[in-house]
Structure 1
Amino acid sequence: MRADGAEDLHCLADVERAAAAVLPTAVRDFVAGGSGAEVTRDANRAALDRVFVVPRVLRDVSRCATGTTLLGRPARLPLAVAPVAYQRLVHPEGELAAARAAQAAGVPFTASTLSSVPVERLTAVGGSVWFQLYWLREPGRSLDLVRRAEDAGAEAIMLTVDVPWMGRRLRDVRNRFALPDHVRAAHLAAGPTAAHRPPPSGASGAASALDAHTEATFSPALTWSSVAALRERTRLPLVLKGILAAEDARRAVECGVDAVVVSNHGGRQLDGALPSVDALPEVVAASAGGCEILLDSGVRSGTDVLRALALGASGVLVGRPALWGLAVGGEGGVRRVLDLLAAEFRDALGLAGCADVAAARELRTVRRA
């Protein structure tokens, strides 16, 4: 990214607007859109804005340390880049550029099963890479992907548990969205994937090409026994992404997972699902310290990171903003996004009277309607 361009990007909303100006309509909608009427997508942001932090004063904040540990490894921020599919849609280097930016920022990068760049190239960047897994209709293929990620040097496995099939995303349906020829799921096929095919005969207008692909590929039979099998299979830290219910958080701890991600998939699965930040306190209480808790869906500022910590999270995942940065300036654009979040978080930390991440977790919050 050119320096003069970076100077015009003062917050993530600026990056979003810049990305919207350069992306084709169908790709912009694929990144921005949610499922159904997008009630949950919009509610994620509104719910975060209802959380107010009670700052402390008369504390020495001449040095504010933003570093922490995530899944037992050091990170410069309580933040990881979330798994997002098909990033070469928005930039020729795709996930490779984003992984380099995350490495430079000192935060983990999560490679998706639907990454358009193979995990081996992403771990070769040298940063901390987590591998996100969708459970496939052939469980053996899922475990093969885990083995591949382990062999590549991934540091964690993140199983997404809220996608038995893709939520009905009306923007993609209306745009008849399909992947261009140069973008494919690098972990699922040697050549172009089934996602390039149009919706099944007789379903015109009822589904996007990606709906058809995921319905044919993902297993709706993912259960707790699958989690147990995966836990037995890998020695890497195991993360479950897509937990909103306290009961599921307790079950996750019983299964020996290392972390759960409180997430409604950015409002892209069940429309009408609870905003993630509203589910966070109950999940934290239910886990009873048995695993780390990460917050996903709607995080757009360093203040949001502070809010999540004050509500008991270990850190957050950031998804769409990384895509905006990638669209605007490739690696430099993602670096700009992460730099902005780092600066905003340090500012929020100090202004709340916290010299480090541990102090942020002791803050009190108040919710306003």
Structure 2
Amino acid sequence: MGTQNAPLRLTDYRDLAAGHVTRPVWDFVDGGSGDERTLAANTAAYDHRRLRPRILTDVDKIDTRTALFGTPLATPIGLAPVAYHRLLHPEGEVATVRGAGAAAALTVVGIFASRTLEDIARAAGGPLWLQLYWLRRRAVLEQLIDRAEAAGYEAFVVTLDAKRIGQRLRDMRNGFTLPEGVAAVNVDPAVMAEAHQAHEADSAIAAHAETSFDRALTWDDLAWLRARTSKPILLKGVLTAEDARLAAEHGVDGIVVSNHGGRQLDNAVPTIDALEECVQAVAGTMPVLIDGGIRRGTDVFTALALGASAVLIGRPFLWGLAAGGAEGVTDVLRLATSELEHTMTLMGTPTLADIDRTAVRP
């Protein structure tokens, strides 16, 4: 790619990616639930905040390094869990983690990855966490936890906002089903059968969730998971102070403020609007991560200023994967980190520790 056409913003990768996949796959990645109000609000909410730069601070050297649970990271920007990367590139998650490793960034691998946990781990050059949905068949979760620990995954992220799949109208209109050759290869095929069967005016993904996800799950069930692993456990899908406080009380190690990228409850609060109350509720007892709507370095800075320990990006790295494989993922992470460095310089904050609430106007 010549420099004249090189992407200069994360959203430039969106335009590149759209030409590399079929329309149903693009709608699966790009779409949200309902009227897509939360999808739009996630990004718009960042536009409603303004930064307050400081002058006469030494910003000759900018340091974006951080650590989570003792693991050093070159950037506070990691990759959110997303299923079925082979929809976007033949190498799937193997390309993704190679790309993230080149940027020394965290990858949260999805439970419905389309490459094996072991292949992903062998290709990784950076830390890996595994995302879980709470399936009715706990034996499947037990096997995944054991395999992940044996392969070197360092934490588990439990997504809890999807007891029923949101009304993703684009997928319903397309009758979206997984194409041949793309499957959740780490999960028993019997669990995944519905995801491969076409449903008229419905999504096979939604039909699969109806039969596989445990809707009876409560806070009390977390004790089972805690007994299964000594690795850090994070809860993803937290949007309120009440749930953040309960997470702390139930002994989890971190939370991810998330509305599933606008793909679950439409008109749910944008994640950046929910962040501060969740941070205040846990009162420094655990890391608080955030995803949803992050499209530029100033968005990352804003989230860090409002108390996030790190951020996770979803669609932007998928755009990079579709457009350029592992190199595209690396480019997206490096571009986002470069934009963060640029913002930190102009804001007068040479390290992440220098970024605080005073940097953002309410």
TM-score, shorter chain, exceeding 0.5: yes
- The reply on whether 1:74 has 2:72 as its aligned counterpart is yes
CA distance in 1, matches of 2:355, 2:223: 34
Shift of 1:249: 0.3
% identity of equivalent residues? 47
Deviations 1:142-171 (A, max 9, x none): 222111211111011000011102111000
Q: Which residue of 1 aligns with 2:81?
A: 83
Q: Which residue of 2 aligns with 1:194?
A: 194
Change (3 A) 1:78 1:218: same
- The reply on whether 1:320 has 2:315 as its aligned counterpart is yes
Check the 8 A contact 1:70/1:78 in 2, yes or no: no
Q: What amino acid is the match of 2:319? A: W
CA distance in 1, matches of 2:327, 2:249: 42
Q: Which residue of 1 aligns with 2:137?
A: 138
Deviations 1:323-357 (A, max 9, x none): 10010011111111111111101001111100100
Shift of 1:7: 5.0
Check the 8 A contact 1:161/1:222 in 2, yes or no: no
Match runs of 1:88-103 below 5 Å: 88-103=86-101
Check the 8 A contact 1:53/1:365 in 2, yes or no: yes
CA distance in 2, matches of 1:314, 1:196: 38
1:294 paired residue among 281, 289, 297:
289
CA distance in 1, matches of 2:289, 2:12: 25
Shift of 1:59: 0.1
Q: Which residue of 2 aligns with 1:182?
A: 181
Match runs of 1:1-369 below 5 Å: 3-4=1-2, 8-125=6-123, 126-189=125-188, 193-199=193-199, 204-205=200-201, 207-361=202-356, 363-367=358-362
- TM-score by length of structure 1 reads 0.95
CA distance in 2, matches of 1:220, 1:46: 32
SS of 1:289 mapped into structure 2: coil
Q: What amino acid is the match of 2:143? A: D
Check the 8 A contact 2:77/2:333 in 1, yes or no: no
Shift of 1:232: 2.2
Shift of 1:5: 7.0
Deviations 1:284-329 (A, max 9, x none): 1001111100111111111111000100110100111111001001
Deviations 1:81-111 (A, max 9, x none): 0000001001100111010011111111111
CA distance in 1, matches of 2:20, 2:144: 34
Deviations 1:252-280 (A, max 9, x none): 11112111000000000000110000000
CA distance in 1, matches of 2:115, 2:49: 37
Q: What amino acid is the match of 1:161? A: L
Check the 8 A contact 1:198/1:209 in 2, yes or no: yes
- TM-score by length of structure 2 reads 0.96
Change (3 A) 1:152 1:301: same
CA RMSD of aligned residues (A): 1.4
Unaligned residue ranges in structure 2 (runs of 5+): none
